[in-house]
Homo-oligomer: A and B are copies of this chain.
Amino acid sequence: MVEFLKLVTPEVAKDYFYSFVDKFENKTEIIETKCALGRVVALPIIASENIPAFPRSTVDGFAVLSKDTFGVSENLPGLFKVIGEVVMGQPAEIEIRSGEAAVIHTGGMLPKGADAVVMIENSQLTFPGEIEIMKSVGHNENVILTGEDVKEGVEVFTQGTLLRPGDIGALMSLGITKLSVFKLPRVGIVSSGDEIVDPEQKINVGQVRDINSYCLSALVQSHGGIPNRYGIVPDDKKKLTEVMKTAFVENDLIIVTAGSSASVRDLTAEVIDTIGKPGVLVHGVNVKPGKPTILAICDGKPIIGLPGNPVSAYVIASIFVVPLLRKIRGEKYFEKRQKLKGILTINVASLAGREDWIPVIVQEDMESGIKTIEPIFYKSNLIFSIIRADGFLRIPPDITGYSARTEVEIILI
């Protein structure tokens, strides 16, 4: 029998929850590298060849034996016989002997015998077929050696790497045009509440439009998940169970935003407990906003219950859903977030024992480069106040606030 935690700190809630999620097994698929931007590497990638595959010049100039240039200078140039040109894209068939040089372009293959390249700026044509070299070069100067970029057999990408544009190029340089990545997690999104209507529909007095489904879908999408919306469910146990069971079968992670009232929030937990074992693990987190958060695992799949209030739902989704999503899509550093330091403009207070997440606006003084962090004070439910936020300031449970004019670090959205 697993324990069920009530009103714990976000840190405790997360650790407990993750101890179950760690058993999650990611599915993989093979895709084309050119479509792999933003995907996560599922199997370690080993270089099957050296890059570059042959020694290459890094400049335009003349391939020579470096020892031939020893002691040359502007006053005492060395004379070399030009025996040919390295053609781009073909094996260098010339062989350089002492006293000889070959024309070579940037990226061209260093011919046999040569061990350095003299830059064209440090040479001058004297007679046709002859050049003077005015500057000595060392061994391997202006050359990249075979395997200098990557050596055959080296692991170039570890499992869990999120692929960025440069990585796509690097994979292509090795001729890796297909690779195994983790499948994109499907995320079921269920919105509940008797007062909620679809934004497409006409609204009556007392009703509000569904913000959560669309806001959370976009959040899921922006962190590499596939959102599946299951519409709006009234506050009814039978109907909610039905929709939740469908969403459970069709997705890897399920988010449900509860109706607003306390009784309805308990309904969500009851329904989750019928879906699978162990069920609800955490019910209530000591965080503002977002106290009624539910964290559950049903038969190995995570289910998160978010507050119905769109502001709370958005904040809690940023704290709990985003790292979880990145974890189940196989990212190694799933908790790594972009952060920023700045000077707090005003005092912010928090209750001892409670963790607060305060939306903030970052402003940068163009002259001084100083960044200020301005907290947004908002009432529950005011979505327009939070959309201006650049990030969140976290006030941990053991701190009762931060003073104005101190440096704080925020998590960027």
A residues sitting closer than 8 Å to B (CB atoms) are 33-34, 37-38, 51-54, 56, 58, 60, 87-92, 105-109, 120, 144, 148-150, 156, 164-170, 172-177, 193-197, 199-200, 203-212, 214-219, 221-222, 235, 259-262, 264, 308-310, 314, 338-341, 369, 379-387, 389, 409, 412-413
Contacts and interface: CB of A to CB of B under 8 A. Distances in A.
Nearest to A342: B341
Given A144-B379, A195-B107, A412-B338, A89 B207 contact: yes
A156 B382 CA distance: 13
A106 B261 contact: yes
Contact of A206 (B91, B195, B387): B91
Contact of A175 (B37, B168, B209, B409): B209
A33 B155 CA distance: 43
Contacts of A193: 88-89, 107
Majority-rule SS of A interface residues: loop
16 contacts: A54-B205, A60-B261, A91-B205, A107-B308, A108-B195, A108-B206, A109-B205, A149-B385, A164-B222, A165-B216, A166-B314, A166-B386, A166-B389, A169-B310, A169-B387, A170-B211
A215 B211 CA distance: 37
A382 B151 CA distance: 12
Contacts of A150: 384
A195 B150 CA distance: 19
Contact of A314 (B169, B176, B221, B387): B169
A51 B53 CA distance: 64
A380 B144 CA distance: 8
A93 to B, nearest CB: 10
Contacts of A262: 60, 105, 120
A316 to B, nearest CB: 13
Nearest to A178: B200
Contact of A149 (B107, B381, B409): B381
B37 A203 contact: no
A208 B107 contact: yes
A199 B177 contact: yes
A235 B88 contact: yes
A381 B88 contact: no
Contact of A384 (B51, B207, B217, B222): B51
A34 B198 CA distance: 12
Contacts of A264: 105
